[in-house]
Amino acid sequence: MSISLILASASPRRTALLDQMGLSHRQFPVDIDESPLADESPEAMVMRLAEQKAATAWQRLSAAGETDMVVLASDTLIAFNGKPLGKPADREDCFTMLRSLSDNEHEVLTAISVKDDQGSKTQCICTKVQFAPVSDDDIAAYWDTGEPADKAGSYAIQGIGGQFVKSVSGSVSSVIGLPLYETRCLLKEFGISK
Ligand SMILES: Cc1cn([C@H]2C[C@H](O)[C@@H](COP(=O)(O)OP(=O)(O)OP(=O)(O)O)O2)c(=O)[nH]c1=O
């Protein structure tokens, strides 16, 4: 009996990172409400969202008769001054986020959640990122590239936004959406390895 790995995500970056690990999988995107709850910490929020993505995918696939699967889901948020920053709602929101990140340090939180028929486990990985000073002209030009729109905190370290990053302490793959080392360890606990 072979167990199939399901990635509960629409993200092209997360599937590419799993490919990088040599783990064959199938993408099964789930859309959930990603709004924060009142007074919820960034860590509690990112873990709740990853867990909910995994549980939702699991329920839908089980209802469709799928068995022998392990579901992996992930969520990425920026924590700045104790507040969560997700994807920008619009250009103005991107300006607000990048102005606050400019010349400051922030944390990128990625939660990974794995579920099978025995239960689930969720873990949060924190990476510190120091931003260089970013001007309004930089932000305007960056917004026009289209890159910030679907990225937590309005930037992509692996793309054009990498030029705003002075230093990183922690996992770079986690900033991009899936921490390779921790994902490998967690999946191993659920019987998935290369
Ligand atoms: C900070 C940062 C975020 N990101 C991305 C990672 C995540 O894909 C995205 C945050 O959105 P998420 O809601 O975590 O994920 P998603 O909507 O892309 O995919 P899904 O929910 O279907 O799994 O921001 C980068 O690619 N580079 C970066 O430097």
Query: For residue 74, which of 21, 142, 27 has the smallest C-alpha distance?
Result: 27
Provide DSSP, 3-67.
Answer: PEEEE----HHHHHHHHHTT---EE-------PPPTT--HHHHHHHHHHHHHHHHHHHHHHTT--
Residue 194 in this model has a pLDDT that exceeds 90: no
Class of the CATH-defined domain 4-189:
alpha beta
Instruction: List pLDDT tens digits, range 108-161.
Output: 999 999 999 999 999 999 999 999 999 999 999 999 999 999 999 999 999 999
What's the pLDDT tens digit per position in 172-190?
A: 999 999 999 999 999 999 9
Rounded to whole angstroms, how far apart are CA atoms 88 and 150? 7
Structure tokens that stand for 46 in this block? 């990112």
DSSP three-state, residue 153: helix
Measured N-to-C along each axis, helices 136-145 and 91-101 cross at an angle, to the nearest 10 degrees, of 130
> Regarding beta strands 119-131 and 165-169, do their DSSP bridges make them parallel or antiparallel, or are they unpaired?
antiparallel
d(CA 101, CA 131): 6
**Can you tell me the distance from the alpha carbon of 180 to that of 61, in angstroms, rounded to the nearest whole number?**
25
Which two three-digit tokens encode residue 62?
Answer: 């089980």
Cα 86 to ligand 1 centroid, rounded to whole Å:
9
Ligand 1 atom closest to Cα of residue 162: 29
Query: CB of 109 within 8 A of CB of 77?
Result: yes
The sign of the CA dihedral 193, 176, 31, 45 is positive
Return the SS3 of 71: strand
Q: Is the CB of 113 under 6 A from ligand 1?
A: no
Q: Is the CB of 29 under 6 A from ligand 1?
A: yes
Looking at residues 46-69, what average pLDDT do you find?
Answer: 97
Catalytic site positions = 75
Q: Could you read off the pLDDT of 76-114 as tens digits, one per residue? A: 999 999 999 999 999 999 999 999 999 999 999 999 999
Q: pLDDT, tens digit, for every residue of 18-48?
A: 999 999 999 999 999 999 999 999 999 999 9
List the domain boundaries for the chain: 4-189
Predicted complex ipTM: 0.97
Distance (angstroms) between ligand 1 centre and the Cα of 153 equals 9
- CA-based radius of gyration for the chain: 17
